[in-house]
Structure 1
Amino acid sequence: MEGRPNHLPLEEVMSGDDGEDSRSWSDNLGGGGGGGGGVSDDDDDGEQSRRKGGGYHRHNPGQIQELEAFFREIPHPDDRQRLELSRRLGLDVRQIKFWFQNRRTQFKAQSERHENILLKEDNTRLKNENDVLKIRLTNPSCSKCHGPVYSNAAIDLSAEEQLLIKENVRLKDELVRIRALAGKLSGKPIDTSHLTSKLPGFNGVSNHNRAKKRRDVSKTGGRTVSTGRSLRNGTLDNRPYQKASLIDAAISAMNELMKLAEAYGPIWSRNFAGSTELLNREEYLKMFSHDNPLGSSCVGAEGSRDTVVVSLNSQAIIGIFMDVNKWIEAFPCLIARASTVEVISDGVNGSRNGSLQLMKAELQVPSPLVSTRQVRFIRFCKQQREGLWAVVDVSVEDGAGLRAPTDCRRLPSGCILQDLPNNFTKVTWIEHSEWETNSVHPLFQQVINTGKLFGAPRWAASLQRHCDSLPLLVLCSNSNANLSGVSPGGNRNILKLVQRMNELFCSGVCVSTKSKWESIHVGNISEDVKIKYRRNTSSPGEPPGLLMCASTSFWLPAAQDILFNFLRNEQCRRQWDILSLSGAMQETFRVSKGPGDSNYISLLRAVGPDSSHTGMMVVQECWIDASGASIVYAPVDDSVINAAVNGRDTESVALLPSGFSIIPDGPSPGKVNGNENGGCLVTLGFQILVNTTPSAKLTQDSFNSVHNLISFTIHKIKAALHLN
């Protein structure tokens, strides 16, 4: 075998058995095969290796996996990196070099194939438009009114009849376009040659009012109103030409999402640890162009991409996205409220392929200093190929446009779902939006562009936590299940209690319009401390009386995991929690909601200074991931917990939750108190019962009490962690 190179050329690898071993995520998106070979960038080195000879070398799966992982991070390794790989994988440096050259050649070929697919789609669209033009040429019309050509001597049409004819022809053209787009979605061409000059339902002057209504909505100053401007009262009023525009926008957004998912190089950059990548705005504008709907020079933009593997198949994930209630349940800390305005398409042949919905939502971050984002968008689901689906969202405007500075515009965003063995799915999430920069609090100016507030890492991490907790939900729904010695009914009750506790905590801390709290400003209290109140007279899930909520966000020079472990540790609770009564907390129950020991629900028993039981329990939920961390808790009576554990309903259990939301801030600008590793943005929120009488008056003492409680807690945490 002398004279043969140590690595197969591209043609042999693409047709040989090695193709399956070398398949990567990029291959799956592009539909390609093999670990690849190709023409070397350095012909002299390649020829030298051929002269030295050697047998064929087939990389083992472990080596291929390492090389693929390194290629996704660094497609062009330098000499030092190639040397390190050769030592780690037991391969020759030249083998490493040729593998990367071949892999780059293969990736380029895959990109070209995908571009060809997009060009074919454009070609199909142009053919459909050409067919429509041919139909128009066979039926000539007046250049002014677009109606049939009549002889004035033969017939004298009234003004109303001329308008009806004009409207009839325009609607017929829109119907032709709708059918062409429907054919594109379904993959089956729809014949439009049978269309006549009259549409059903338009039979002369009797339809004058209906035609007039369409003219008023669809025409302004002789031009067609844009899709977003023609949406009135949240519905499409079954107008086919509006739906056609939305379908066109959905297809365009899907094409952009797929291009962003497959793009590498300068358009995406990785500037902090983890799998998150940030969008290069300048490179993006070179590749795509969008109008700026905010109409202001003070517009911010953020784009991020993240990848996770979740323990749920793609069809189940699509079911979450297309059902608004399941969508809210999967992202409780991100979605304050959401609704489906209209279902434009249910899909093709009973599947979700081609599903299109008009939706609106209010997005939130657990902080009183971060404004919510009002978004109105279309959601489009499409199967790209076998085992690969994509769901894309893109904003559309309502009749009034963007109503407030806190509103934002979502450019094509969404996720690509790739099926993996054992019912797993690889999720590539892309989030891209624009907003007015003057709506961002200075405390969050530095972190907002990292995607940790509304970006891809937060969405992807929330989806992963939800998928990890689904086995617990199924187990709690099983009448034969038993967790930690608690009855099945008790498991369900505790889970429902925790879900309601988190909803109440977010409603108090966030600034969502869904909240029933009323804000109040107190002159001697800092503006960063937000105080709200409400008078509860009817809600059974909260204690009756005058309720008050106080929350604030602040920065701490401490690593996220250190702060999280300190706050969740029941042994450290007496150092900062006034509920511990200077005693200890004992954990009596814990159930995991995911892998590891950092995502769980627990019950804590308060023990007094003399080791006596105080009769109070604390329900607590904790979780942590790369996007942040959360500790939410609520005190309840011991008797209530015992009843819940024994299967009694918890809907009427009164809760006043408190807790912490933690967002990693990354490296700080220089040393802060000797800390070079950055810190965290911490949100602290308390809900307390001020008076058992709902009609009681708010007093200055009440404001001072909640403000002192926040100051006391922050001071104790800093002192315990030795933070100045």
Structure 2
Amino acid sequence: MDHESTNGSSSENGEGTSRQRLSTVQTEQLEAMCQRPNATIRAELSKNLDLDMSQIKFWFQNRRSQDMNDYKRSQTSKIRLEIGQILLENKHMTDVAQQLICPCCGFPPVDCTSSEVDEYSLSMENEELRRELERVSRITSNFTQQKPPTSVNLSGLDVTPTAPVNGPYFDQGTFSSINPTLPLQPVESNVSDITRLMMDIATNAMDELLRIVRNNFWIKSAIGSGDTLIPDIYGMTYPMTHLLNNPNVYVEGTRDSGVVTMNCLQLVEMLLDSSKLMQAFPTIISEAKVIQELSSCSMSGSPDGVLLLMYEVLQPLSPLVLSREFYFLRYCVQIKPRLWVITNVACDLSQENRLISPSDSRKLPSGCLIKEMPNGHSKVIWVEHAEIVEKAPIHPLFNDKVYSGMAFGAARWLASLQRQSERYQYLFAAVTDTSDGCGVASPIGKQSLMRFSSNMLKKFCENIRASPGGYWTTFYDTNDVAIRLKTKGTDGNVLLVVTSIRLPLSSETLFKFFRDGANGLRLLCDAVTNDDVLQEATHIQIGSQPGNFISVFQHHSNETKNKSLVLQENWDDRSGSLVVYTLLELHSMNKILNGEDTWNIQLHPCGIIIIPDGQQENRETSTSEGVRSNSCGSLLTISYQIPLSNVENVNFDDETVATAHNLINGCVERIKVALNLTST
């Protein structure tokens, strides 16, 4: 085939370039040469083929361009074929992922990725909303003739230091860092600047939370359910150099997930309400306050975009472990339909606008992801992540429990939330239940009794809090026993004694033993002897697990011939169990069952708390609630409360302390004898 060759010279009349068609012989000889011949080779070809030097030069240039175009076309075709195969595989994997079903809950898993979160769009939308808010604020101030506030008033929170307590595990300057002269407020700063700064802190924390939830920062917990944060891997992405020189500070991170029997929006609103928050976590939160509402709900009433400055006190389940207090921001965002993120983070402002806080421990980016499920329930991923400052040595009994993250970890939060949401369902179902199979025929009476029992449970947990609160007036703590005394109160003088021991039995075994009122009451209460008769008059189920119920016992004493009532509630979840009771008079029970006001009923709750000891030789068992730690040992906390109304002056003298020790030691011995553990 003949080929054309451009000689590169222009004709004299400027009409274009002249072209000469090459013969087949010329083309074959040119193709046999290399692609880039030098000048000597081109001169030889020009002589042999009777062609100009320019013709040979341009022929090789055109040939190289043609070869490059052919190569590009072949590569393009190959890439298109590979893209087609990838698209087909992607479609197949997407179809498979949409059909995945969680073996535990039977519903699709929560999508925790942030691929659908357009950060740029969100930032632009936030900026537009901020400008609109400022415009509306200016218009409103013109109508009301009021200037917007120039500082954030956060002085409503009482940060007065409380008296320290005694004992090796309590007298370590626990509360000496609280300075009452430092106000909990920014110093002379414009409110809009402070709010914007806090919004930036919360937004960055939410971004970090979404990243750490889905990244490989976690390892399955060796104890109980959930995952534990790997500090080294986390520190590579988010360095924390300020912790290197402080041996008393460490980072604690845990993660757990599960289904909560509560509507998604109701759950979000509950987590933004301090009073509802304390009701939802009666065994964890002893105090919660919203210090400042920095960003409120939208005009439609949606909690999307709410930013709160909050204060929380987290209580352990033994006075031998100090409670924890946090000041933090809580930020609520709906990142896509039916998916919410609630972020918690400590509020660290600049040095000029430093938010002074009595709490040394800080919340690192943490919180929860809440996804609405088709059946009206919610799938929750809970993350606890904090920088902890230990102000006092941890009691040896609770070393494993605290440092493993089980004492305040995500598994405990989620288990409590699941348990309480289930309790709410039974409380609301009591409205339509008119049967008297439980011993209470009136739905109002049943609801009133369940609410009163809930208050008893909460007060019981608050009483054993290690940090001194406003309820108790005197404290006396030793290595293993915490003694509290309240004098001249509305319910008279009260003496409280609390201790914790370890028993070589699983928490399930101990709970099954104590939930029977005949066993627990006779062992824990001096007023109930082995000869007395305990007859269960009321039994109200408050959970799907058989151990979660409320009982009212009729107490017949053979010695005094008196009849009294005992109210008992059993609380059992994956993190531990509680058996709480109180003695009631007949007229008090009538007020409760009639739905009357019960604020003046004296309440002296006593009981026990059973939790796994946290040692790593634990096994795990799966239940309907999730993975439960099946420990070979348990930590048993006994709380003993005695009313002393007939004594006018009660002080902490040697006799009172000896009486308290004798009471609690006698109770411990009775328990060991009943469990055949006398040698322990």
Do both share a fold (TM > 0.5)? yes
Paired AA for residue 665 in structure 1: D
Contact 2:547 2:572 in 1 (8 A): yes
Contact 1:604 1:619 in 2 (8 A): yes
Paired AA for residue 505 in structure 1: F
Partner Cα distance (2:519, 2:651) in 1 = 36
Per the alignment, in what secondary structure is the counterpart of residue 205 of structure 2? helix
**Taking every aligned residue pair, what percent have the same amino acid on both sides?**
27
Contact 2:487 2:494 in 1 (8 A): yes
CA drift of 1:382 comes to 0.7
1:35-54 correspondence runs (5 A) = none
CA drift of 1:645 comes to 2.5
Work out whether 1:615 is the aligned partner of 2:567: no
The 1:601/1:67 distance shift into structure 2, 3 A limit, reads closer
Contact 1:603 1:618 in 2 (8 A): yes
The 1:669/1:246 distance shift into structure 2, 3 A limit, reads same
Work out whether 1:652 is the aligned partner of 2:600: yes
Partner Cα distance (2:197, 2:260) in 1 = 34
Of the candidates 255, 267, 271, which is equivalent to residue 317 of structure 1?
Answer: 267
Aligned twin of 2:479? 527
Partner Cα distance (1:248, 1:509) in 2 = 38
Contact 1:604 1:618 in 2 (8 A): yes
Aligned twin of 1:455? 409
Q: TM-score, normalised by structure 2?
A: 0.70
Q: Count residues with an aligned counterpart.
A: 536
Partner Cα distance (1:234, 1:586) in 2 = 56
Aligned twin of 1:307? 257
Of the candidates 330, 340, 356, which is equivalent to residue 307 of structure 2?
Answer: 356
Deviation string 1:45-97 (CA, Å, 9 cap, x unpaired) is xxxxxxxxxxxxxxxxxxx656999x99xxxxxxxxxxxxxxxxxxxxxxxxx
Work out whether 1:487 is the aligned partner of 2:445: no
1:412-427 correspondence runs (5 A) = 412-427=365-380
Aligned twin of 1:720? 674
Paired AA for residue 548 in structure 2: N
Partner Cα distance (1:613, 1:336) in 2 = 39
CA drift of 1:511 comes to 2.5
Contact 2:278 2:288 in 1 (8 A): yes
Of the candidates 515, 539, 542, which is equivalent to residue 568 of structure 1?
Answer: 515
Aligned twin of 2:546? 597
Work out whether 1:248 is the aligned partner of 2:196: no
> Which structure has the larger Rg over C-alpha atoms?
2
Deviation string 1:512-543 (CA, Å, 9 cap, x unpaired) is 44342133338xxx432111111134x2xx3x
Aligned twin of 1:375? 326
The 1:124/1:468 distance shift into structure 2, 3 A limit, reads closer
Paired AA for residue 305 in structure 1: R
Contact 1:517 1:532 in 2 (8 A): yes
Per the alignment, in what secondary structure is the counterpart of residue 304 of structure 1? strand
Q: Give the unaligned 5+ runs of structure 1.
A: 1-7, 24-32, 36-63, 73-106, 126-180, 202-206, 215-230, 671-675
The 1:394/1:416 distance shift into structure 2, 3 A limit, reads same
Aligned twin of 2:425? 471
The 1:286/1:576 distance shift into structure 2, 3 A limit, reads same
Using CA pairs below 8 Å that are at least 6 residues apart, which structure has the higher relative contact order? Answer: 2
Contact 2:326 2:361 in 1 (8 A): yes
CA drift of 1:479 comes to 10
Paired AA for residue 328 in structure 1: M
CA drift of 1:13 comes to 5.7
Contact 2:322 2:466 in 1 (8 A): yes
CA drift of 1:371 comes to 1.1
Aligned twin of 2:78? none
Partner Cα distance (2:104, 2:611) in 1 = 33
Deviation string 1:599-619 (CA, Å, 9 cap, x unpaired) is 111112224469x97412211
The 1:238/1:682 distance shift into structure 2, 3 A limit, reads farther
Of the candidates 528, 552, 568, which is equivalent to residue 580 of structure 1?
Answer: 528
Let me know the Cα RMSD of the aligned residues.
3.9
CA drift of 1:468 comes to 0.3
Partner Cα distance (2:381, 2:525) in 1 = 40
CA drift of 1:417 comes to 0.5
Contact 2:183 2:356 in 1 (8 A): no
Per the alignment, in what secondary structure is the counterpart of residue 579 of structure 1? coil
CA drift of 1:654 comes to 1.3
Per the alignment, in what secondary structure is the counterpart of residue 375 of structure 1? strand
Contact 1:490 1:644 in 2 (8 A): yes
Of the candidates 625, 639, 653, which is equivalent to residue 573 of structure 2?
Answer: 625
CA drift of 1:294 comes to 11
Contact 1:186 1:354 in 2 (8 A): no
Contact 2:612 2:631 in 1 (8 A): no
Of the candidates 496, 499, 502, which is equivalent to residue 549 of structure 1?
Answer: 496
The 1:453/1:65 distance shift into structure 2, 3 A limit, reads closer
Paired AA for residue 279 in structure 1: L
Aligned twin of 1:445? 399
CA drift of 1:469 comes to 1.1
The 1:697/1:448 distance shift into structure 2, 3 A limit, reads closer
Q: Give the unaligned 5+ runs of structure 2.
A: 1-83, 142-146, 153-181, 619-629
Per the alignment, in what secondary structure is the counterpart of residue 296 of structure 1? coil
Name which of structure 1's ranges 324-333 and 492-501 shifts more when overlaid on structure 2.
492-501
Q: TM-score, normalised by structure 1?
A: 0.66
Aligned twin of 1:707? 661
Deviation string 1:671-719 (CA, Å, 9 cap, x unpaired) is xxxxx95311221111102342444455433322221111111112122
The 1:561/1:579 distance shift into structure 2, 3 A limit, reads farther
Aligned twin of 1:15? 91
The 1:668/1:389 distance shift into structure 2, 3 A limit, reads closer
Partner Cα distance (2:436, 2:293) in 1 = 40
The 1:620/1:189 distance shift into structure 2, 3 A limit, reads closer
Contact 2:223 2:615 in 1 (8 A): no
CA drift of 1:186 comes to 7.2
Contact 1:606 1:613 in 2 (8 A): no
Paired AA for residue 268 in structure 1: W
Partner Cα distance (1:547, 1:569) in 2 = 27
Contact 1:419 1:426 in 2 (8 A): yes
Aligned twin of 2:344? 393
Aligned twin of 2:610? 662
Per the alignment, in what secondary structure is the counterpart of residue 623 of structure 1? strand
Contact 1:668 1:678 in 2 (8 A): no
Work out whether 1:496 is the aligned partner of 2:496: no
1:210-359 correspondence runs (5 A) = 233-234=184-185, 239-264=191-216, 267-272=217-222, 274-290=224-240, 292=242, 296-350=246-300, 351-359=302-310
Partner Cα distance (1:650, 1:277) in 2 = 43
CA drift of 1:471 comes to 2.1
Name which of structure 1's ranges 335-344 and 613-622 shifts more when overlaid on structure 2.
613-622
Partner Cα distance (2:666, 2:310) in 1 = 43
Contact 1:395 1:411 in 2 (8 A): yes
Paired AA for residue 256 in structure 1: E
Per the alignment, in what secondary structure is the counterpart of residue 687 of structure 1? strand
Work out whether 1:690 is the aligned partner of 2:644: yes
Per the alignment, in what secondary structure is the counterpart of residue 429 of structure 1? strand
Per the alignment, in what secondary structure is the counterpart of residue 547 of structure 2? coil
Paired AA for residue 242 in structure 1: I
Name which of structure 1's ranges 327-336 and 293-302 shifts more when overlaid on structure 2.
293-302
Deviation string 1:4-52 (CA, Å, 9 cap, x unpaired) is xxxx986446436x845x33xxxxxxxxx566xxxxxxxxxxxxxxxxx
Per the alignment, in what secondary structure is the counterpart of residue 446 of structure 1? helix
Of the candidates 465, 483, 495, which is equivalent to residue 510 of structure 1?
Answer: 465
Paired AA for residue 15 in structure 1: K
CA drift of 1:591 comes to 1.0
Contact 2:223 2:616 in 1 (8 A): no
Partner Cα distance (2:469, 2:476) in 1 = 20
Query: Which protein is richer in helix relative to its size?
Result: 1
